[in-house]
Structure 1
Amino acid sequence: MPVTDEAIEKIKEMIVTGQLRPGDRLPREADLSVQLGLSRNSLREAVRALSLLNVLDVRQGDGTYVSPLDSSRLLEALTFLVDLHRDDSVLESFQVRAILEPAAAALATHRIDLAERASLRTLLDSLGSAPTVDEVVANDIEFHHRIAAAAGNTMLCSLIDSLSGPTVRARIWRGITQEGALERTVAEHGAILDAMGSGDAEAARAWMTVHITGVTRWLQEAP
Structure 2
Amino acid sequence: MRSVAAGAEEKIKELIVEQGLGPGDPLPTETELMERFGVSRNSLREALKSLQAMRIVEIRRGFGTYVGTMSLEPLIEAMAFRTVVGHRQGRGSLLELLQMREALEAGLMHRLAGRLPEEDLAELDALVARMHTEVREEGEIAARTDRAFHRALHRSLGNELLSELLDAFWSAFHRVRAQGLGTAADGEELARMHARIVEAVRAGDAEAAEAAVHRHFDDIRGRLSRH
* TM-score higher than 0.5: yes
| 1:50-129 equivalent positions in 2, closer than 5 A | 50-67=51-68, 69=69, 74-85=71-82, 86=84, 88=87, 89-109=93-113, 111-126=115-130, 127=132
Greater Cα offset, 162-171 or 138-147: 162-171
Query: Residue 193 of structure 1 corresponds to which residue in structure 2?
Result: 198
Query: Residue 164 of structure 1 corresponds to which residue in structure 2?
Result: 170
Query: Residue 7 of structure 1 corresponds to which residue in structure 2?
Result: 8
Counterpart residue identity of residue 123, structure 1: L
List gaps (5 residues or longer) in structure 2: 88-92
Of 128, 138, 153, which aligns to 2:159?
A: 153
Contact 1:137–1:172 (CA under 8 A) maintained in structure 2? no
Displacement after TM superposition at 1:197 (Å): 0.4
Counterpart residue identity of residue 41, structure 1: N
Displacement after TM superposition at 1:117 (Å): 0.9
Three-state SS of the structure 1 residue aligned to 2:8 is: helix
Cα distance in 2 for residues equivalent to 1:189 and 1:198: 14
Displacement after TM superposition at 1:148 (Å): 2.8
Cα distance in 1 for residues equivalent to 2:40 and 2:226: 53
Contact 1:15–1:21 (CA under 8 A) maintained in structure 2? yes
Query: Residue 183 of structure 2 corresponds to which residue in structure 1?
Result: 174
Displacement after TM superposition at 1:184 (Å): 4.2
Cα distance in 2 for residues equivalent to 1:125 and 1:26: 47
Contact 1:100–1:156 (CA under 8 A) maintained in structure 2? no
Contact 2:80–2:173 (CA under 8 A) maintained in structure 1? no
Three-state SS of the structure 2 residue aligned to 1:26 is: coil
- What per-residue deviation string (whole Å, max 9, x for no partner) do you get for residues 163-221 of structure 1? 22343437984335xxxx445433322221111101233432332233224423542x3
Q: CA, structure 1 residues 110+31, in 2 after alignment: closer, same or farther (shift >3 Å)?
A: farther
Percent same amino acid among aligned pairs? 32
Structure 1 vs Structure 2 CA RMSD: 3.1
Three-state SS of the structure 1 residue aligned to 2:184 is: helix
Query: Residue 30 of structure 1 corresponds to which residue in structure 2?
Result: 31
Three-state SS of the structure 2 residue aligned to 1:174 is: coil
List gaps (5 residues or longer) in structure 1: none
Displacement after TM superposition at 1:44 (Å): 1.1
Query: Residue 21 of structure 1 corresponds to which residue in structure 2?
Result: 21
Three-state SS of the structure 2 residue aligned to 1:2 is: helix
Query: Residue 90 of structure 2 corresponds to which residue in structure 1?
Result: none
Contact 1:97–1:160 (CA under 8 A) maintained in structure 2? yes
Q: CA, structure 1 residues 199+172, in 2 after alignment: closer, same or farther (shift >3 Å)?
A: farther
Contact 2:193–2:212 (CA under 8 A) maintained in structure 1? yes
Q: CA, structure 1 residues 130+49, in 2 after alignment: closer, same or farther (shift >3 Å)?
A: closer
Greater Cα offset, 123-132 or 96-105: 123-132
Query: Residue 212 of structure 1 corresponds to which residue in structure 2?
Result: 217
